Amino acid sequence: MPKYVPEPFRIKVIEPIQLIPRQERIKVVQEAKFNVFNIRSENIYIDLMTDSGTSAMSNAQWAAMMLGDEAYAGARSYFRLKEVMDDVFGFKYFVPTHQGRAAENILSKIMIKPGQFIPSNMHFDTTEGNIRAQGGIPVNLVIAEAYIPSKSVDFKGNMNIDKLRNFITEKGVENIPLGLLTITNNAGGGQPVSLENIKQVSDTYKEFGIPFFLDACRFAENAYFIKLREPGYENMSILEISRKIFALSDGATMSAKKDGIVNIGGFLAMNDESLFKKVKNELIIREGFPTYGGLAGRDLDAMAVGFREVLEESYLEYRIGQTNYLGESLREIGIPIIEPPGAHAIYIDAKSLLPHIPQNEFPAQSLTIALYIEGGIRGVEIGTSAFGYVDTETGKEVMPELDLVRLAIPRRVYTQSHIDYIVEVFKKVKENPQALSGYRMTYQAPLMRHFTAEFEPV
Ligand code: F0G
Protein backbone atom coordinates (compact mmCIF):
# COMPACT_ATOMS: atom_id res chain seq x y z
CA MET A 1 0.00 0.00 0.00
CA PRO A 2 1.38 3.42 -0.92
CA LYS A 3 1.57 6.04 1.82
CA TYR A 4 -1.03 8.81 2.10
CA VAL A 5 0.21 11.99 3.78
CA PRO A 6 -2.63 13.26 6.01
CA GLU A 7 -4.12 16.64 5.13
CA PRO A 8 -2.50 19.49 7.12
CA PHE A 9 -5.94 21.17 7.44
CA ARG A 10 -9.48 20.36 8.45
CA ILE A 11 -12.67 21.09 6.52
CA LYS A 12 -14.92 23.99 7.56
CA VAL A 13 -16.99 24.58 4.42
CA ILE A 14 -18.29 21.82 2.14
CA GLU A 15 -19.65 21.72 -1.40
CA PRO A 16 -21.99 18.80 -2.18
CA ILE A 17 -21.19 16.58 -5.18
CA GLN A 18 -23.21 13.69 -6.62
CA LEU A 19 -22.77 10.75 -8.93
CA ILE A 20 -25.63 10.70 -11.43
CA PRO A 21 -26.77 7.23 -12.65
CA ARG A 22 -24.75 5.51 -15.38
CA GLN A 23 -27.55 5.72 -18.00
CA GLU A 24 -27.64 9.50 -17.48
CA ARG A 25 -23.86 9.75 -17.76
CA ILE A 26 -24.03 8.03 -21.15
CA LYS A 27 -26.69 10.49 -22.29
CA VAL A 28 -24.72 13.46 -20.95
CA VAL A 29 -21.54 12.48 -22.77
CA GLN A 30 -23.40 11.91 -26.05
CA GLU A 31 -25.02 15.32 -25.77
CA ALA A 32 -21.57 16.78 -25.06
CA LYS A 33 -20.40 15.42 -28.46
CA PHE A 34 -17.94 13.26 -26.55
CA ASN A 35 -16.00 16.31 -25.37
CA VAL A 36 -15.84 16.57 -21.57
CA PHE A 37 -15.39 20.36 -21.82
CA ASN A 38 -19.09 20.44 -22.78
CA ILE A 39 -20.30 18.68 -19.63
CA ARG A 40 -21.95 20.69 -16.88
CA SER A 41 -20.06 20.54 -13.62
CA GLU A 42 -23.21 19.38 -11.78
CA ASN A 43 -22.97 16.15 -13.79
CA ILE A 44 -19.39 15.46 -12.69
CA TYR A 45 -18.59 13.48 -9.54
CA ILE A 46 -14.81 13.91 -9.26
CA ASP A 47 -13.46 16.74 -11.39
CA LEU A 48 -9.83 16.24 -12.35
CA MET A 49 -9.99 18.32 -15.50
CA THR A 50 -7.53 20.84 -14.08
CA ASP A 51 -5.74 22.03 -10.98
CA SER A 52 -6.12 25.56 -12.33
CA GLY A 53 -8.45 27.88 -10.43
CA THR A 54 -10.14 24.87 -8.83
CA SER A 55 -8.30 24.89 -5.52
CA ALA A 56 -9.80 25.53 -2.10
CA MET A 57 -8.76 28.81 -0.50
CA SER A 58 -7.85 28.94 3.17
CA ASN A 59 -9.62 30.82 5.95
CA ALA A 60 -6.75 33.34 5.82
CA GLN A 61 -7.32 33.92 2.10
CA TRP A 62 -11.06 34.42 2.54
CA ALA A 63 -10.38 36.80 5.40
CA ALA A 64 -7.90 38.73 3.24
CA MET A 65 -10.55 39.11 0.54
CA MET A 66 -12.67 41.14 2.96
CA LEU A 67 -9.82 43.63 3.17
CA GLY A 68 -9.78 44.09 -0.61
CA ASP A 69 -9.34 47.73 -1.60
CA GLU A 70 -11.30 48.30 -4.81
CA ALA A 71 -9.77 51.66 -5.72
CA TYR A 72 -9.09 51.91 -9.46
CA ALA A 73 -5.53 53.14 -8.92
CA GLY A 74 -3.06 52.67 -6.09
CA ALA A 75 -5.18 50.28 -4.03
CA ARG A 76 -3.77 48.92 -0.75
CA SER A 77 -4.37 45.42 -2.13
CA TYR A 78 -1.84 46.09 -4.90
CA PHE A 79 0.81 47.18 -2.39
CA ARG A 80 0.18 44.13 -0.19
CA LEU A 81 0.67 41.96 -3.26
CA LYS A 82 3.77 43.93 -4.27
CA GLU A 83 5.36 43.26 -0.90
CA VAL A 84 4.99 39.49 -1.41
CA MET A 85 6.08 39.76 -5.06
CA ASP A 86 9.27 41.56 -4.08
CA ASP A 87 10.02 39.06 -1.33
CA VAL A 88 9.30 35.80 -3.17
CA PHE A 89 9.93 36.53 -6.85
CA GLY A 90 12.25 39.51 -6.59
CA PHE A 91 11.69 41.04 -10.04
CA LYS A 92 12.03 44.81 -10.43
CA TYR A 93 8.62 45.22 -12.08
CA PHE A 94 5.36 43.34 -12.35
CA VAL A 95 1.76 43.79 -13.41
CA PRO A 96 -1.17 41.68 -12.22
CA THR A 97 -3.11 39.93 -14.99
CA HIS A 98 -6.41 38.09 -14.79
CA GLN A 99 -4.66 34.78 -15.53
CA GLY A 100 -1.55 33.25 -17.05
CA ARG A 101 -2.51 33.45 -20.70
CA ALA A 102 -3.14 37.19 -20.41
CA ALA A 103 0.48 37.58 -19.35
CA GLU A 104 1.55 35.34 -22.25
CA ASN A 105 -0.54 37.36 -24.68
CA ILE A 106 1.01 40.67 -23.64
CA LEU A 107 4.55 39.30 -23.65
CA SER A 108 4.05 37.62 -27.05
CA LYS A 109 2.50 40.73 -28.62
CA ILE A 110 5.43 42.88 -27.56
CA MET A 111 8.33 40.49 -28.17
CA ILE A 112 7.46 38.21 -31.10
CA LYS A 113 7.50 38.96 -34.83
CA PRO A 114 6.14 36.54 -37.47
CA GLY A 115 8.55 33.71 -38.32
CA GLN A 116 10.54 33.98 -35.08
CA PHE A 117 11.27 30.95 -32.89
CA ILE A 118 10.58 30.59 -29.17
CA PRO A 119 12.41 27.69 -27.49
CA SER A 120 11.31 26.12 -24.21
CA ASN A 121 11.54 22.72 -22.55
CA MET A 122 7.88 22.26 -23.53
CA HIS A 123 5.27 24.91 -24.15
CA PHE A 124 1.82 24.53 -22.65
CA ASP A 125 -1.09 24.89 -25.09
CA THR A 126 -1.96 28.48 -24.16
CA THR A 127 1.68 29.52 -24.56
CA GLU A 128 1.82 27.78 -27.94
CA GLY A 129 -1.45 29.43 -28.92
CA ASN A 130 -0.25 32.90 -27.96
CA ILE A 131 3.07 32.46 -29.79
CA ARG A 132 1.35 31.14 -32.92
CA ALA A 133 -1.20 33.97 -32.75
CA GLN A 134 1.74 36.39 -33.33
CA GLY A 135 3.09 34.25 -36.18
CA GLY A 136 5.84 32.83 -33.96
CA ILE A 137 6.99 29.22 -33.87
CA PRO A 138 7.13 27.44 -30.48
CA VAL A 139 9.90 24.83 -30.21
CA ASN A 140 10.19 22.11 -27.55
CA LEU A 141 13.73 21.16 -26.51
CA VAL A 142 13.11 19.00 -23.45
CA ILE A 143 15.47 16.05 -22.73
CA ALA A 144 14.71 12.91 -24.76
CA GLU A 145 13.67 10.92 -21.65
CA ALA A 146 10.59 13.13 -21.37
CA TYR A 147 9.15 11.23 -24.32
CA ILE A 148 9.58 7.82 -22.69
CA PRO A 149 6.60 7.60 -20.30
CA SER A 150 7.80 4.56 -18.35
CA LYS A 151 11.29 5.97 -17.69
CA SER A 152 11.69 7.41 -14.21
CA VAL A 153 14.04 10.41 -14.11
CA ASP A 154 14.34 12.86 -11.20
CA PHE A 155 14.21 15.99 -13.37
CA LYS A 156 12.36 14.89 -16.45
CA GLY A 157 11.37 18.47 -17.26
CA ASN A 158 14.98 19.52 -17.93
CA MET A 159 15.94 21.26 -21.16
CA ASN A 160 18.46 19.55 -23.43
CA ILE A 161 21.21 22.19 -23.29
CA ASP A 162 23.13 20.88 -26.33
CA LYS A 163 19.96 20.99 -28.39
CA LEU A 164 19.24 24.52 -27.16
CA ARG A 165 22.73 25.72 -28.06
CA ASN A 166 22.63 24.08 -31.51
CA PHE A 167 19.17 25.44 -32.13
CA ILE A 168 20.22 29.01 -31.34
CA THR A 169 23.32 28.72 -33.53
CA GLU A 170 21.36 27.21 -36.40
CA LYS A 171 18.43 29.66 -36.39
CA GLY A 172 20.44 32.75 -35.44
CA VAL A 173 19.99 34.94 -32.37
CA GLU A 174 18.15 37.57 -34.44
CA ASN A 175 15.34 35.04 -34.98
CA ILE A 176 14.93 34.20 -31.29
CA PRO A 177 13.46 37.19 -29.43
CA LEU A 178 12.70 35.28 -26.23
CA GLY A 179 13.56 32.03 -24.48
CA LEU A 180 11.21 30.24 -22.10
CA LEU A 181 11.29 27.42 -19.55
CA THR A 182 8.17 25.89 -18.00
CA ILE A 183 8.35 24.87 -14.32
CA THR A 184 7.03 22.29 -13.74
CA ASN A 185 6.69 20.92 -17.26
CA ASN A 186 2.93 20.48 -17.48
CA ALA A 187 2.75 19.21 -21.08
CA GLY A 188 5.38 16.57 -20.28
CA GLY A 189 3.84 15.10 -17.13
CA GLY A 190 4.16 17.85 -14.50
CA GLN A 191 7.86 17.06 -14.25
CA PRO A 192 10.32 19.34 -12.46
CA VAL A 193 13.42 21.12 -13.76
CA SER A 194 16.57 21.03 -11.61
CA LEU A 195 18.24 24.21 -10.38
CA GLU A 196 21.39 23.12 -12.18
CA ASN A 197 19.46 22.92 -15.45
CA ILE A 198 17.73 26.26 -14.86
CA LYS A 199 21.20 27.75 -14.35
CA GLN A 200 22.50 26.20 -17.58
CA VAL A 201 19.46 27.43 -19.52
CA SER A 202 19.97 30.88 -18.01
CA ASP A 203 23.69 30.89 -18.90
CA THR A 204 22.98 29.80 -22.46
CA TYR A 205 20.31 32.44 -23.09
CA LYS A 206 22.56 35.04 -21.45
CA GLU A 207 25.55 34.09 -23.60
CA PHE A 208 23.49 34.79 -26.73
CA GLY A 209 21.72 37.83 -25.27
CA ILE A 210 18.27 36.26 -25.40
CA PRO A 211 15.82 37.39 -22.68
CA PHE A 212 14.89 34.45 -20.43
CA PHE A 213 11.35 34.15 -19.05
CA LEU A 214 10.02 31.43 -16.77
CA ASP A 215 6.52 30.07 -17.13
CA ALA A 216 6.26 29.81 -13.36
CA CYS A 217 2.74 28.43 -12.80
CA ARG A 218 3.91 25.62 -10.52
CA PHE A 219 7.15 27.09 -9.17
CA ALA A 220 6.62 25.98 -5.54
CA GLU A 221 5.98 22.38 -6.55
CA ASN A 222 9.14 22.55 -8.68
CA ALA A 223 11.10 24.02 -5.77
CA TYR A 224 9.88 21.24 -3.47
CA PHE A 225 11.17 18.59 -5.88
CA ILE A 226 14.52 20.40 -5.94
CA LYS A 227 14.64 20.22 -2.16
CA LEU A 228 13.76 16.50 -2.21
CA ARG A 229 15.92 15.37 -5.11
CA GLU A 230 18.78 17.75 -5.89
CA PRO A 231 21.91 17.48 -3.74
CA GLY A 232 22.79 20.66 -1.88
CA TYR A 233 19.28 22.02 -1.37
CA GLU A 234 17.93 19.66 1.29
CA ASN A 235 18.38 22.21 4.07
CA MET A 236 17.09 25.25 2.19
CA SER A 237 13.56 26.56 2.60
CA ILE A 238 11.18 26.61 -0.37
CA LEU A 239 11.33 30.40 -0.25
CA GLU A 240 15.12 30.35 -0.58
CA ILE A 241 15.02 27.87 -3.46
CA SER A 242 12.30 29.90 -5.19
CA ARG A 243 14.39 33.05 -4.92
CA LYS A 244 17.36 31.24 -6.46
CA ILE A 245 15.19 30.09 -9.37
CA PHE A 246 13.81 33.54 -10.16
CA ALA A 247 17.16 35.27 -9.76
CA LEU A 248 18.36 33.30 -12.79
CA SER A 249 15.69 34.71 -15.12
CA ASP A 250 14.80 38.08 -16.65
CA GLY A 251 11.10 37.71 -15.98
CA ALA A 252 8.17 35.37 -15.56
CA THR A 253 4.61 34.71 -16.61
CA MET A 254 2.44 33.29 -13.88
CA SER A 255 -0.97 31.75 -13.58
CA ALA A 256 -1.72 32.18 -9.88
CA LYS A 257 -4.63 29.78 -10.44
CA LYS A 258 -2.02 27.09 -9.78
CA ASP A 259 0.64 27.91 -7.19
CA GLY A 260 -1.11 31.10 -6.08
CA ILE A 261 -3.92 28.84 -4.76
CA VAL A 262 -6.56 31.27 -6.03
CA ASN A 263 -9.54 30.88 -8.31
CA ILE A 264 -8.42 33.66 -10.64
CA GLY A 265 -5.25 35.70 -11.07
CA GLY A 266 -1.76 35.90 -12.50
CA PHE A 267 1.09 38.25 -13.27
CA LEU A 268 3.76 39.24 -15.75
CA ALA A 269 7.04 40.20 -14.09
CA MET A 270 10.34 41.47 -15.49
CA ASN A 271 13.54 43.37 -14.77
CA ASP A 272 13.76 45.42 -17.98
CA GLU A 273 12.33 48.91 -17.52
CA SER A 274 11.71 49.64 -21.21
CA LEU A 275 9.81 46.37 -21.53
CA PHE A 276 7.78 47.27 -18.44
CA LYS A 277 6.70 50.52 -20.08
CA LYS A 278 5.42 48.66 -23.14
CA VAL A 279 3.75 46.06 -20.94
CA LYS A 280 1.86 48.73 -19.03
CA ASN A 281 0.50 50.16 -22.28
CA GLU A 282 -0.66 46.77 -23.53
CA LEU A 283 -2.12 46.02 -20.11
CA ILE A 284 -4.17 49.20 -20.05
CA ILE A 285 -5.66 48.41 -23.47
CA ARG A 286 -6.44 44.77 -22.67
CA GLU A 287 -6.56 44.07 -18.94
CA GLY A 288 -6.79 47.19 -16.84
CA PHE A 289 -4.76 49.78 -14.97
CA PRO A 290 -1.33 48.47 -13.82
CA THR A 291 -2.27 48.34 -10.13
CA TYR A 292 -5.15 45.91 -10.69
CA GLY A 293 -4.64 44.33 -14.14
CA GLY A 294 -8.06 42.79 -14.75
CA LEU A 295 -8.63 41.67 -11.18
CA ALA A 296 -10.61 42.95 -8.22
CA GLY A 297 -8.63 44.28 -5.26
CA ARG A 298 -9.84 41.32 -3.20
CA ASP A 299 -8.33 38.92 -5.78
CA LEU A 300 -4.93 40.59 -5.33
CA ASP A 301 -5.20 40.08 -1.57
CA ALA A 302 -6.12 36.40 -1.94
CA MET A 303 -3.12 35.96 -4.25
CA ALA A 304 -0.76 37.69 -1.81
CA VAL A 305 -1.73 35.23 0.93
CA GLY A 306 -1.69 32.26 -1.48
CA PHE A 307 1.90 32.93 -2.54
CA ARG A 308 2.92 32.59 1.13
CA GLU A 309 0.84 29.49 1.89
CA VAL A 310 2.12 27.60 -1.15
CA LEU A 311 5.66 27.80 0.28
CA GLU A 312 4.75 25.93 3.48
CA GLU A 313 6.45 22.57 3.58
CA SER A 314 3.63 20.78 5.41
CA TYR A 315 1.36 21.81 2.54
CA LEU A 316 3.81 20.72 -0.18
CA GLU A 317 4.51 17.40 1.52
CA TYR A 318 0.78 16.66 1.53
CA ARG A 319 0.33 18.01 -1.99
CA ILE A 320 3.07 15.96 -3.61
CA GLY A 321 2.19 13.03 -1.33
CA GLN A 322 -1.42 12.95 -2.49
CA THR A 323 -0.48 12.95 -6.17
CA ASN A 324 2.14 10.30 -5.54
CA TYR A 325 -0.43 8.14 -3.71
CA LEU A 326 -2.70 8.22 -6.77
CA GLY A 327 0.21 7.46 -9.09
CA GLU A 328 1.51 4.55 -7.05
CA SER A 329 -1.97 3.08 -6.57
CA LEU A 330 -2.60 3.18 -10.33
CA ARG A 331 0.79 1.64 -11.05
CA GLU A 332 -0.01 -1.18 -8.61
CA ILE A 333 -3.07 -2.17 -10.66
CA GLY A 334 -1.12 -2.05 -13.91
CA ILE A 335 -2.14 1.33 -15.33
CA PRO A 336 0.75 2.82 -17.37
CA ILE A 337 1.50 6.30 -16.06
CA ILE A 338 4.17 8.83 -16.83
CA GLU A 339 6.96 7.98 -14.39
CA PRO A 340 7.70 9.28 -11.91
CA PRO A 341 4.40 10.80 -10.69
CA GLY A 342 4.42 14.58 -11.15
CA ALA A 343 3.37 17.23 -8.67
CA HIS A 344 -0.03 18.40 -9.80
CA ALA A 345 -1.30 15.51 -11.87
CA ILE A 346 -0.99 11.91 -12.95
CA TYR A 347 -0.75 11.28 -16.66
CA ILE A 348 -1.98 8.00 -18.16
CA ASP A 349 -0.16 6.69 -21.21
CA ALA A 350 -3.23 5.89 -23.32
CA LYS A 351 -1.32 4.48 -26.32
CA SER A 352 0.16 1.86 -24.06
CA LEU A 353 -3.11 1.09 -22.19
CA LEU A 354 -5.16 0.92 -25.41
CA PRO A 355 -2.80 -0.41 -28.10
CA HIS A 356 -5.76 -1.55 -30.21
CA ILE A 357 -6.78 2.08 -30.91
CA PRO A 358 -4.56 3.79 -33.55
CA GLN A 359 -3.29 7.21 -32.50
CA ASN A 360 -5.30 9.04 -35.16
CA GLU A 361 -8.42 7.64 -33.48
CA PHE A 362 -7.58 9.42 -30.21
CA PRO A 363 -6.91 6.68 -27.61
CA ALA A 364 -6.59 9.24 -24.78
CA GLN A 365 -9.93 10.75 -25.76
CA SER A 366 -11.44 7.28 -25.61
CA LEU A 367 -10.09 6.70 -22.09
CA THR A 368 -11.33 10.14 -20.98
CA ILE A 369 -14.86 9.23 -22.07
CA ALA A 370 -14.64 5.81 -20.41
CA LEU A 371 -13.65 7.37 -17.07
CA TYR A 372 -16.70 9.59 -17.20
CA ILE A 373 -19.11 6.82 -18.13
CA GLU A 374 -17.62 4.36 -15.63
CA GLY A 375 -17.29 6.68 -12.64
CA GLY A 376 -18.37 10.27 -13.33
CA ILE A 377 -14.69 11.28 -13.31
CA ARG A 378 -13.58 14.10 -15.57
CA GLY A 379 -9.96 13.96 -16.70
CA VAL A 380 -8.64 15.73 -19.74
CA GLU A 381 -7.08 14.57 -22.98
CA ILE A 382 -3.69 16.13 -23.53
CA GLY A 383 -2.53 14.24 -26.54
CA THR A 384 -3.54 14.02 -30.15
CA SER A 385 -6.58 16.25 -29.78
CA ALA A 386 -4.84 18.90 -27.64
CA PHE A 387 -1.44 19.01 -29.34
CA GLY A 388 -2.07 17.54 -32.78
CA TYR A 389 -3.10 19.79 -35.65
CA VAL A 390 -3.83 19.66 -39.33
CA ASP A 391 -0.88 20.94 -41.39
CA THR A 392 -2.27 23.69 -43.60
CA GLU A 393 0.13 22.83 -46.44
CA THR A 394 -0.22 19.05 -46.57
CA GLY A 395 -3.74 18.76 -45.06
CA LYS A 396 -2.36 15.92 -42.94
CA GLU A 397 -2.80 15.40 -39.21
CA VAL A 398 0.46 16.12 -37.34
CA MET A 399 0.46 14.00 -34.17
CA PRO A 400 2.40 14.56 -30.94
CA GLU A 401 4.62 11.80 -29.55
CA LEU A 402 2.60 11.40 -26.37
CA ASP A 403 -1.10 10.63 -26.12
CA LEU A 404 -2.08 11.18 -22.51
CA VAL A 405 -5.01 11.54 -20.16
CA ARG A 406 -4.25 13.94 -17.37
CA LEU A 407 -5.82 13.57 -13.95
CA ALA A 408 -5.06 16.96 -12.40
CA ILE A 409 -5.59 17.30 -8.68
CA PRO A 410 -7.13 20.51 -7.37
CA ARG A 411 -5.27 21.83 -4.33
CA ARG A 412 -6.78 21.02 -0.91
CA VAL A 413 -10.07 19.77 -2.42
CA TYR A 414 -10.30 15.96 -2.44
CA THR A 415 -9.54 13.46 0.32
CA GLN A 416 -8.00 9.99 0.40
CA SER A 417 -11.37 8.28 -0.11
CA HIS A 418 -11.91 10.25 -3.32
CA ILE A 419 -8.51 9.13 -4.56
CA ASP A 420 -9.31 5.51 -3.62
CA TYR A 421 -12.57 5.81 -5.57
CA ILE A 422 -10.66 6.94 -8.67
CA VAL A 423 -8.45 3.85 -8.41
CA GLU A 424 -11.56 1.63 -8.16
CA VAL A 425 -12.94 3.14 -11.37
CA PHE A 426 -9.64 2.44 -13.14
CA LYS A 427 -9.85 -1.18 -11.98
CA LYS A 428 -13.19 -1.48 -13.78
CA VAL A 429 -11.85 0.08 -16.99
CA LYS A 430 -8.80 -2.19 -16.82
CA GLU A 431 -11.01 -5.32 -16.72
CA ASN A 432 -11.85 -4.95 -20.41
CA PRO A 433 -9.94 -2.21 -22.24
CA GLN A 434 -10.80 -3.88 -25.58
CA ALA A 435 -14.36 -2.65 -25.08
CA LEU A 436 -13.20 0.94 -25.68
CA SER A 437 -13.45 2.22 -29.25
CA GLY A 438 -11.59 4.95 -31.10
CA TYR A 439 -13.06 8.34 -32.00
CA ARG A 440 -13.30 10.56 -35.06
CA MET A 441 -13.16 14.36 -34.80
CA THR A 442 -16.21 15.83 -36.51
CA TYR A 443 -15.46 19.51 -35.80
CA GLN A 444 -12.25 21.41 -35.01
CA ALA A 445 -11.28 25.07 -34.58
CA PRO A 446 -8.02 26.33 -36.18
CA LEU A 447 -6.24 27.01 -32.84
CA MET A 448 -6.51 25.12 -29.51
CA ARG A 449 -9.03 22.77 -31.02
CA HIS A 450 -9.52 20.41 -28.07
CA PHE A 451 -11.61 22.90 -26.10
CA THR A 452 -14.40 22.97 -28.67
CA ALA A 453 -13.79 19.82 -30.75
CA GLU A 454 -16.66 17.42 -31.39
CA PHE A 455 -16.27 13.66 -31.73
CA GLU A 456 -18.14 10.48 -32.64
CA PRO A 457 -17.16 6.90 -31.84
CA VAL A 458 -15.54 5.05 -34.75
N1 F0G B 1 1.40 27.76 -18.53
C2 F0G B 1 1.19 26.54 -18.01
C3 F0G B 1 2.35 25.61 -17.77
C4 F0G B 1 -0.11 26.15 -17.68
O5 F0G B 1 -0.29 24.94 -17.15
C6 F0G B 1 -1.18 27.04 -17.89
C7 F0G B 1 -2.54 26.66 -17.60
C8 F0G B 1 -0.91 28.31 -18.42
C9 F0G B 1 0.40 28.62 -18.72
C10 F0G B 1 -1.99 29.31 -18.66
O11 F0G B 1 -2.54 29.81 -17.48
O12 F0G B 1 -4.95 29.09 -17.51
O13 F0G B 1 -4.18 30.95 -16.07
O14 F0G B 1 -4.32 31.25 -18.49
N15 F0G B 1 -2.87 25.48 -17.42
C16 F0G B 1 -4.19 25.01 -17.05
C17 F0G B 1 -4.15 23.51 -16.99
C18 F0G B 1 -5.30 25.54 -17.89
O19 F0G B 1 -5.22 22.92 -16.91
O20 F0G B 1 -3.06 22.95 -16.98
P21 F0G B 1 -4.08 30.30 -17.38
User: What's the pLDDT tens digit per position in 138-169?
Assistant: 999 999 999 999 999 999 999 999 999 999 99
Give one word for 448, left, alpha or beta, with left for phi > 0 and alpha for psi -120 to 50.
left
Instruction: Tell whether ligand 1 has an atom less than 6 A from the beta carbon of residue 99.
Output: yes
Peptide bond into 184 cis (omega under 30): yes
Please tell me the predicted confidence (pLDDT) of residue 395.
Answer: 84
Domains in the chain and their CATH numbers? 22-51+313-457 (3.90.1150.10), 59-309 (3.40.640.10)
d(C-alpha 404, C-alpha 342), whole Å: 14
Atom of ligand 1 nearest to the CA of 256: 13
Cα-to-centroid distance, 306 and ligand 1 (Å): 17
Instruction: Tell whether ligand 1 has an atom less than 6 A from the beta carbon of residue 50.
Output: yes
Listed in sequence order, the DSSP H helices in 174-215 are 195-208
Instruction: Tell whether ligand 1 has an atom less than 6 A from the beta carbon of residue 366.
Output: no
Stretch (H or E) spanning 184 = none
Residues in the chain, total = 458
Cα-to-centroid distance, 138 and ligand 1 (Å): 16
pLDDT tens for the chain, 458 residues: list them.
789 999 999 999 999 999 999 999 999 999 999 999 999 999 999 999 999 999 999 999 999 999 999 999 999 999 999 999 999 999 999 999 999 999 999 999 999 999 999 999 999 989 999 999 999 999 999 999 999 999 999 999 999 999 999 999 999 999 999 999 999 999 889 999 999 999 999 999 999 999 999 999 999 999 999 999 999 999 999 999 999 999 999 999 999 999 999 999 999 999 999 999 999 999 999 899 999 999 999 999 999 999 999 999 999 999 999 999 999 999 999 999 999 999 999 999 999 999 999 999 999 999 999 999 999 999 999 999 998 988 888 888 899 888 999 999 999 999 999 999 999 999 999 999 999 999 999 999 887 899 999 999 99
C-beta of residue 233 within 8 angstroms of C-beta of residue 251: no
The preferred substitution site among 108, 126, 180 for testing ligand 1, maximizing ligand atoms within 8 Å of CB, is 126
Cα-to-centroid distance, 22 and ligand 1 (Å): 31
Q: Which residues contact 321 (CB under 8 A, 6 or more apart)?
A: 3, 4, 5
Please tell me the predicted confidence (pLDDT) of residue 2.
Answer: 85
Instruction: Tell whether ligand 1 has an atom less than 6 A from the beta carbon of residue 217.
Output: yes
Identify which of 350, 95, 316, 297 has the alpha carbon closest to the alpha carbon of residue 225: 316
- Neighbouring C-beta atoms of residue 83, cutoff 10 Å: 11
Cα-to-centroid distance, 75 and ligand 1 (Å): 27
d(C-alpha 87, C-alpha 226), whole Å: 20
Please tell me the predicted confidence (pLDDT) of residue 390.
Answer: 85
Cα-to-centroid distance, 255 and ligand 1 (Å): 6
Identify which of 351, 429, 435, 341 has the alpha carbon closest to the alpha carbon of residue 388: 351
